Structure formats: structure tokens, C-alpha cells
Amino acid sequence: MNPDLRFDVRLVERNLARGRVARDELKAHLASLPDAAGNAENIEASVADHGLPPAPAPKAAAPKKPGR
């Protein structure tokens, strides 16, 4: 297996289940990763920002007929 994929977030649960990665190995790998929180940027977006029309309101349920 490609060593770069052992801890890939898309595959790590499968690799744990198949014994390709031990939980202790995963913990050590995660602890060795640098803290990249300072690189993050908060953004806000809404549908109005993209010029899309608002979503239509949900339709009301048809009234039940008596006796049914």
C-alpha cells in the first residue's frame, strides 16, 4: 500500500478495520502533524451573495377529506 495513503482521511477507517494501521500509529501520526489553525480564514457566504433566487416555500399538505 502506498505509505501516503495509510492515514488518508478518506481511507483511515478502512485501514484501521483491515489492520493496515494500528490505532496507536494513527494517534502518533495525528500528534505529529503541525498546528495549521493560524492558516485558516473565516468566510461567510449566503445564497444572496451568488445572485440565486430564494428557495420556494414548502407546499402545504392537501386537506384530508372527511371519512377517509
Instruction: Report the C-alpha gap between 5 and 34 in whole angstroms.
Output: 18
pTM of the model: 0.55
Question: Which pLDDT tens digit goes with each residue over 2-16?
Answer: 888 999 999 999 999
- Can you tell me the mean pLDDT for 15-43? 94
Q: pLDDT class for 68, splitting at 50, 70, 90?
A: low
Average pLDDT, the chain: 86
Neighbours of 2 (CB within 10 A): 7
The residue with greater pLDDT, 40 or 58, is 40
The residue with greater pLDDT, 63 or 7, is 7
